[in-house]
Amino acid sequence: MNALSAILVIAQRDFLKLLRDRTRILSTFIFPFVFIGLLGGSLQASLGSVIGYSFLTFTFVGVLAQTIFQSSALGLISLIEDRENDFSQEIFISPVSRYTIIFGKILGETLVALPQGLGIILFGFVIGVPFTVASLIGLLLAAVVATLFGGAFGVIVLANLKSQRAANQIFPFILLPQFFLAGVFNPIVGLPWYLDLVSRLSPLRYAVDLLRGVYYAGRPEYDKVVLADPLTNLAIMTVAFAAFLIVGTTLFVRSERNR
């Protein structure tokens, strides 16, 4: 009961921070709109007829997954910033389990990422991405899984970084290649074996593919777009989530205390 209250209060703090930071709300929408509108739109114009499915829709689902995954991963990494502002001391000094703290943080960043996901879906409506009620519900559920997974990925990155400066410098190198390896904008069917291997090691790939699997279910493009069955992706993400959380939290706490 105490642990649940602690998780909720930590999560609520992150959500309140989002609500009170209007510039952050605005800026989180700009990138997805640029990616989907410009990149998806222009690729659709040049390649759409060759590839046999809508590039705009393909990019839309990819960017949706990538945005929420990235948002919650970055949110977890903000624990470093908290530490530098000494707010995390207030959290870490409390008689609450470290796992509870990290889990509360993941939940909070999920609450921050999901409204962004909703904004992108609304944008999808505007630019004419086709939706059915089933695909909408599926996307929302898959989005929750993707944000939780992004948060766990953030924990494992966090555990290996020393400062916010290091995080700002290193995180793009960890994330940007995944944009392409996970096929956010580009189809990754038929990659050479070495790129395929790295692609399979990219956590973002499973989040993107899960959302596509759910969105394209029952559509004729399904076989051309989706790499693996949603249940397979879900299983991989569940195992990786647990591993990231346990290993990441242990490493993070150890590096905090054994300075």
Partner 1 sequence: MIDVRDLVKRYRKSERNAVDGVSFTVGAGEFFALLGPNGAGKTTTISILTTTLTPTSGSATIDGHDLRTEASAVRRSVGIIFQRPSLDQNLTAEENVRFHAVLYGLYPWRPSYALMPSAYRRELQALADVLGIADDVHKPIRTFSGGMRRKLEIVRSLIHRPRVLFLDEPTSGLDVASRRGLWEHLSRVRSESGTTIFLTTHYIEEAEQADRLCIVDRGKVVLNGTPGAVKARLVQEYVLVDAPDRSALRVELTRLGLRFEEGVHLRVPLAGRTVHALLQAIATPLTFVETHAPSLEDAYLATIAPESVS
Choosing from 63, 80, 96, 184, the residue that interacts with partner 1 (CB under 8 A) is 96
- Whose Cβ is closer to partner 1: residue 6's or residue 143's? 6
* Cβ within 8 Å of residue 216, ≥6 positions away: 61, 222, 225, 226
Query: Which residue do the tokens 């009620």 mark?
Result: 133
20 lies in the binding site for partner 1 (CB under 8 A): yes
Q: How far is the CB of 113 from partner 1 (least distance, A)?
A: 18
219 lies in the binding site for partner 1 (CB under 8 A): no
Q: Which own/partner contact pairs does 249-253 have at CB distance under 8 Å and 24+ positions apart?
A: 249/98, 249/99, 249/102, 249/155, 249/159, 250/159, 251/156, 251/159, 251/160, 252/79, 252/98, 252/102, 252/155, 252/158, 252/159, 253/98
Specify the stretch interacting with partner 1 by CB under 8 A; choose among 5-13, 29-37, 59-67, 238-246: 5-13
79 lies in the binding site for partner 1 (CB under 8 A): no
Q: How far is the CB of 93 from partner 1 (least distance, A)?
A: 6
Question: How many angstroms separate the CA atoms of 165 and 53, rounded?
Answer: 42
166 lies in the binding site for partner 1 (CB under 8 A): no
107 lies in the binding site for partner 1 (CB under 8 A): no
Residues near partner 1 (CB under 8 A): 1-2, 4-6, 8-10, 12-13, 16-17, 20-21, 85-87, 89-96, 256-259
